[in-house]
C-alpha cells in the first residue's frame, strides 16, 4: 500500500512539475522557426504568447509579395493556426502588437484585423510603424497574447 501511495505521489509531483514549466511549441503548419518558438505557454499554463507572425506559409515562402492585404490575411491565418494548436480562438486573445512598414496600410490592417477580432472583443493593442523586417518583401507582423480559459485548464 505504501508503494502505491508513493507511486501516486510521484505521479502527482511529476504532473505538478510539468504544469509549472513553460511549454514551447512550433506547429508544423507554421513557417520554420529559426532561433525562436512560435508559441510559449507560461508556467501554470494560462498565459500564451505567440511570436510575431509574418506572411510566410508553412514552407517559408512569402504569401502576397507587394500586397499588404494578402500579407495581413496570411499573418492572421498563421495566428489562427497557432491558437488552434492549443484549442484557442481569437476570442481568447487579450493583446496584439502590430508592426507595419507604412501608415498608409493602417485602414487595411484594421479591416483585416476586424474580420478576425470583432470590435466587441477588442484586445489591448499596440501599433508601430517600422523601417522593415528581416525580409524586405514583408510588410506586416503581428504578435499576440492569449489566455487559456480556466474551464479548459481544468479539463487538462
For the segment 28-49, what is each residue's pLDDT rounded down to a tens digit?
888 887 776 777 777 666 999 9
pLDDT of 120 reads: 80
Reduced to 3 states (helix: H, G, I; strand: E, B; else coil), residue 138 is coil
Domain ranges of the chain: 21-155
Cβ atoms of 97 and 140 within 8 Å: the answer is no
pTM, entire model: 0.76
pLDDT of 74 reads: 98
In degrees and rounded to multiples of 5, residue 84 shows phi and psi of: -60, -30
Cβ atoms of 40 and 49 within 8 Å: the answer is yes
Residues of the chain with pLDDT under 50: 1, 3-19
Per-residue pLDDT tens for 101-124? 999 999 999 999 999 997 787 888
Cβ atoms of 57 and 74 within 8 Å: the answer is yes
The reply to whether CATH 3.30.1330.40 applies to domain 21-155 is yes
Buried b (16+ CB within 10 A) or exposed e, 111-121: ebbeebbeeee
pLDDT of 149 reads: 85
pLDDT of 111 reads: 96
Amino acid at each position: 500500500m505504501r508503494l502505491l501511495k508513493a507511486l501516486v505521489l510521484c505521479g502527482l509531483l511529476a504532473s505538478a512539475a510539468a504544469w509549472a514549466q513553460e511549454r514551447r511549441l512550433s506547429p508544423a503548419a507554421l513557417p520554420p522557426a529559426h532561433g525562436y518558438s512560435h508559441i510559449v505557454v507560461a508556467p501554470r499554463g494560462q498565459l500564451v504568447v505567440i511570436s510575431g507572425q509574418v506572411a510566410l506559409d508553412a514552407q517559408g515562402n512569402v504569401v502576397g509579395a507587394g500586397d499588404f492585404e494578402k500579407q495581413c490575411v496570411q499573418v492572421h491565418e498563421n495566428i489562427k493556426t497557432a491558437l488552434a494548436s492549443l484549442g484557442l480562438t481569437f476570442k481568447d486573445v487579450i493583446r496584439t502588437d502590430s508592426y507595419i512598414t507604412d501608415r498608409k496600410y493602417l485602414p487595411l490592417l484594421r479591416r483585416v484585423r476586424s474580420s478576425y477580432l470583432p470590435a466587441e472583443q477588442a484586445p489591448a493593442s499596440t501599433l508601430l510603424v517600422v523601417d522593415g523586417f528581416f525580409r524586405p518583401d514583408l510588410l506586416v507582423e503581428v504578435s499576440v497574447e492569449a489566455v487559456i480559459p480556466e474551464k479548459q485548464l481544468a479539463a487538462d
